[in-house]
Structure 1
Amino acid sequence: MKAIWNGVTLAESNDTVLVDGNHYFPEASLNKAYTSFSNHRSSSEKGQAQYLSLLVNGEFNPDAVWFYAKPNEAFAAIKGRVAFWKGVQIVE
């Protein structure tokens, strides 16, 4: 699977975890050269999500990457993984 935005592959892995229709990629597969800090947080049944923003080819996509540093026990499989939204395409 690949996560692509603005013509750039942000993450690529054959080891994704599918939860609620979202592919969670191993954190190590994320190209951090395109990410920047975000102080945005949200909460769900999975726990508290933290976000990263994207800066690719001069375009900014705020809070387009999320992860759960300490997911609730039922969602332990997504610990150490990142997911994408806000126009990031997930393709095989």
Structure 2
Amino acid sequence: MEVLSADGARIRGATVTGTNVTSNISITGVTDGQGVSTAINESLAPSPVRVVATAGSKVSPAHQVEWQCDGCNCQPEPSTLELRLNP
């Protein structure tokens, strides 16, 4: 997941939170120097996951990630997600 400012700059140190919409269990991670976080993972699967990013007082709109699971693992759909912070 990438976190971008309203004007498209990558944001380092933004908090990304994924919440399972069924169980309400959450995972939180912080973006790296490239504005990327891989903290939201299949441990929240198979239910849909609501994902939001924050940096200071800036918040992104919430997005939903669906998990496609087989017998061995789960893959997110969409496979990449861009979270753009509100101005």
TM-score (norm 2): 0.35
Task: Determine which structure has the larger helix proportion and give its number.
Answer: 1
Task: Determine which structure has the larger strand proportion and give its number.
Answer: 1
